[in-house]
Amino acid sequence: MSVLVVMEQSRLAWHRMSWEALAAGQQMGPALGIPVAAAVLGHGAAALAGELGGKKLDKVYHVEHELLDHYTADAYTVALAELVDMAKPSMVLFPHTYRVRDFAPRLATRLGGLLVSDVLRIEVKDGAAVAVRQMFQGKLNADYRAAGGGTQYISIQAGAYRAEHVEAGSAEVEVLTPALEAAQIRIKVEEPFRESARAVDLTAADLIVSAGRGIKEQENLSLIQELAAAMGAEVAASRPICDNGWLPMDRQVGSSGQTVAPKVYFAVGISGAIQHLVGMKGSKCVVAINKDPNAPIFEVADYGIVGDLFEVVPALIEEIKKAKG
């Protein structure tokens, strides 16, 4: 019985969400009365393992292999399956990153388990862990409990736990070399790249007016542009608007776009799926205009208007012009 936190690194640099998962692990260990270990996979990752050795943990696993130099789902699944078989944790925690989304369901399946993905928090009820996650784009929460006695696999949503809560300490580092062979890796990866440099830097904007699905048609974007012009704000959008080609991709706010923290963020017709919220919840003031009073965007809004944006926005443009005199 133990908690195992699987950390994430690329090119020997930590993914920041690893520390959030580690913070979750450090809370779960005492809550369940079981030891906590953490693992780092890679090639030449001794320094990272050493850094983990300075945290309050019962054990650090440094899984070292040249075939773990670049991430592939095949190699990570083989290496981690071997680690879990050996360490026999009762709970495995991951940060819910794009990479974890790629391999963790496969790993859990191979080990006869099932991943509960994108978890907001883990509660302990009657000595058992209950994982809370969102459904229906954040409109509902749901509690999940393990049905059998097997290992629980849980990935932790970005921002659900706080990296600065990670406690320092000391832990023994064990180096493991998994039995990994090149023939097991069916996928050949090329170097990651960025598409042409971003033309628009939304991160520097003080005011942002952002449009979502609620605007319905491309022509209606002029309403958003008018509001932005009246405010002196940048125009942005949630993913579906950019997917439709209504605005260029570099206007996108969210996990696959830019992360912004303006003085005021106007979310107009944006329901507030988590992929969008992670890109804007650091805004100092959030104003949401949406017809659905249960839209998750109101979870993070300071000011909310429940109503038809096609009535509210024209009125708002007029009032702003008046207020600016």
What's the min distance (Å) between Cβ of 85 and another protein?
16
Specify the amino acid at residue 62. H
Number of amino acids touching another protein (CB under 8 A) = 91
What's the min distance (Å) between Cβ of 173 and another protein?
28
Q: Does 170 bind another protein (CB under 8 A)?
A: no
What's the min distance (Å) between Cβ of 28 and another protein?
17
Angle separating helix axes 221-231 and 309-324, nearest 10 degrees: 20
The single residue among 42, 118, 208, 260 that binds another protein, judged by CB under 8 A, is 118
Residue 53 backbone phi and psi in degrees, to 5:
-65, -15
Question: DSSP state, 258?
Answer: B
Q: Among the candidate windows 20-28, 50-58, 172-180, 182-190, which touches another protein by CB under 8 A?
A: 182-190
Cα separation, 236 vs 224, whole angstroms: 9
170 contacts 53 by C-beta, under 8 angstroms: yes
Q: Among the candidate windows 32-40, 83-91, 159-167, 187-195, which touches another protein by CB under 8 A?
A: 187-195
Cα separation, 53 vs 67, whole angstroms: 23
By beta-carbon proximity to another protein, the closer residue of 52 and 264 is: 264
Cα separation, 74 vs 61, whole angstroms: 20
The single residue among 253, 264, 267, 270 that binds another protein, judged by CB under 8 A, is 264
Q: Does 47 bind another protein (CB under 8 A)?
A: no
What is the dihedral sign for C-alpha 24, 26, 32, 36?
positive
Q: Does 315 bind another protein (CB under 8 A)?
A: yes
Q: Among the candidate windows 27-35, 40-48, 84-92, 237-245, which touches another protein by CB under 8 A?
A: 237-245
